[in-house]
């Protein structure tokens, strides 16, 4: 049996002060292109090799059928000459006309004649599509030769994972920046937001910038402020200090845990408004992350009895009122990454950005009856608060002062039974 490949034949933090912005000494384990073990996105392999492998998989394969298989059904012959593919996949490719016998489209049950030549063009598997450029619209807030800041809409996944192999921000970055992005680990992505969380995130455009941003995240000089709507009358301000790890009863969820299984996590919050909706108290809060564990804000707020409105995973902490239908059919966690501050990797200049609350969450805020202080900025915007530290001792749930290192919020895909 002779097999060949026809190349080219494809098928149709706590100290939120500008004065604290300082890279300091670079961590020894933050070498170029590396992310620490608890960082958000596993692995450091660049996108380019994966893309090339995917292209190779799509090249046509040709085989001359052995005499002893002559007369057998095509699907059975394919299973024997291409054992690396499952029979169901091969049958699907026959139906998609990815298989030709002597240059002609074939059918699953047709007999294969003596001396026939079979040509197969495999389709890309979902995981191979993960690093394929796709023309996705990206809401670019800021862009230069070193970094790009994106305002991510709710519903968009940042990085490919099981169940979301395509249509991600990474695919859009590969399309927008081509080989420059393909040559970077994770196309320059250094942190993520949950699928249904909207707001700002920064992406590196060079390896040097990516390394610098990872170090800033580890040193907590990247400042991130979220706007969240939570059930109940939460206290005016405070700190939630509680380790987070996998929920022992449901491994696709995160939870406040004790012992070695939990990583230290700290969230600072400040209430900016409150209201009553159907006689149920609701609070609007700002959250600043000192660490960045998976689903940190959502887990922490639920742990102190104030889950986020609309949260389909952690919203049951307060019973019926956290799962009641919200105005306008709002059906995601009410969480928006509103402010982002960092030191520019090249110029060393402190920079900040702001993303207006998206329409769906803005409509929810109005429908719930939240008021705005006269003469104040929207949603309690306070430059001084963004630049100052939270000093309240806050909630402490079984966590000791220790190594609050970086492990940025992960993709919403985990809520859909996809472990990290």
- Domain match, 113 and 150 both: no
Radius of gyration of the chain (CA): 26
- Domain match, 143 and 270 both: yes
- pLDDT tens digits, one per residue of 228-250: 999 999 999 999 999 999 988 88
Alpha-carbon span 401 to 27, nearest angstrom: 20
The residues assigned a catalytic role are 194
- Domain match, 69 and 178 both: no
- Structural domain includes residue 3: no
- Domain match, 94 and 181 both: no
- Lowest-confidence range among 170-174, 222-226, 245-249, 387-391? 387-391
pTM of the model: 0.67
- Domain match, 76 and 202 both: no
- Structural domain includes residue 169: yes
Over range 24-51, report the average pLDDT.
36
What pLDDT does residue 122 have? 84
On whether the CB atoms of residues 65 and 81 are closer than 8 A, the answer is: yes
Over range 280-284, report the average pLDDT.
95
- Domain match, 234 and 89 both: no
- Domain match, 266 and 142 both: yes
- Domain match, 300 and 284 both: yes
Does residue 142 have a pLDDT over 60? Answer: yes
Q: Which residue has the tokens 């305002």?
A: 151
- pLDDT tens digits, one per residue of 54-90: 454 557 889 999 999 999 999 999 999 988 788 888 9
Which residue segment(s) compose the domain that 80 sits in?
Answer: 59-120
CATH code of the domain containing 139: 3.30.2350.10
Give the DSSP letter of residue 26.
P
Domain boundary among 120, 139, 157: 120
Alpha-carbon span 172 to 301, nearest angstrom: 32
């Amino acid at each position: 049996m002779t097999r060949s490949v026809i190349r080219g034949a494809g098928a149709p933090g706590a100290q939120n002060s500008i004065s604290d912005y300082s890279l300091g000494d670079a961590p020894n384990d933050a070498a170029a292109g590396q992310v620490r073990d608890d960082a958000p996105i596993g692995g450091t392999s660049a996108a380019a090799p994966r893309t090339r492998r995917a292209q190779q998989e799509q090249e046509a394969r040709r085989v001359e059928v052995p005499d002893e298989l002559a007369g057998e059904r095509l699907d059975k012959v394919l299973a024997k000459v291409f054992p690396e593919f499952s029979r169901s996949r091969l049958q699907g490719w026959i139906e998609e006309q990815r298989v030709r016998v002597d240059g002609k489209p074939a059918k699953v049950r047709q007999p294969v004649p003596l001396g026939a030549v079979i040509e197969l063009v495999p389709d890309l598997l979902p995981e191979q599509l993960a690093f394929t450029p796709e023309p996705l619209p990206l809401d670019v807030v800021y862009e230069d030769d070193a970094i790009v800041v994106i305002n991510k809409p709710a519903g968009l996944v940042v990085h490919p994972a099981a169940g979301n192999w395509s249509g991600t921000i990474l695919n859009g970055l590969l399309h927008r920046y081509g080989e420059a992005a393909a040559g970077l680990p994770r196309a320059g992505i250094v942190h993520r937001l949950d699928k249904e969380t909207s707001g700002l995130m920064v992406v590196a455009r060079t390896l040097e910038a990516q390394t610098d941003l990872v170090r800033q995240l580890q040193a907590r000089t990247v400042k991130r402020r979220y706007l969240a709507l939570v059930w109940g009358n939460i206290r005016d301000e405070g700190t939630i200090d509680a380790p987070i790890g996998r929920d022992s009863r449901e491994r696709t969820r995160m939870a406040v845990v004790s012992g070695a299984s939990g990583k230290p996590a700290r969230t600072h919050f400040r209430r900016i408004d409150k209201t009553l909706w159907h006689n149920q108290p609701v609070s609007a809060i700002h959250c600043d992350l000192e660490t960045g564990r998976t689903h940190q804000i959502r887990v922490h707020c639920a742990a102190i009895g104030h889950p986020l409105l609309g949260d389909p995973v952690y919203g049951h902490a307060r019973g019926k009122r956290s799962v009641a239908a919200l105005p306008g059919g709002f059906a995601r966690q009410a969480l928006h990454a509103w402010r982002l501050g960092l030191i520019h990797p090249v110029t060393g200049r402190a920079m900040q950005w702001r993303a207006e609350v998206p329409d769906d969450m803005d409509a929810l805020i109005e429908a719930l009856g939240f008021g705005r202080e006269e003469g104040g900025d929207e949603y309690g915007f306070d430059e001084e608060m963004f630049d100052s530290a939270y000093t309240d001792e806050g909630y402490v749930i079984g966590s000791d002062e220790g190594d609050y290192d970086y492990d940025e919020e992960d993709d919403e895909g985990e809520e859909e039974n996809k472990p990290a």
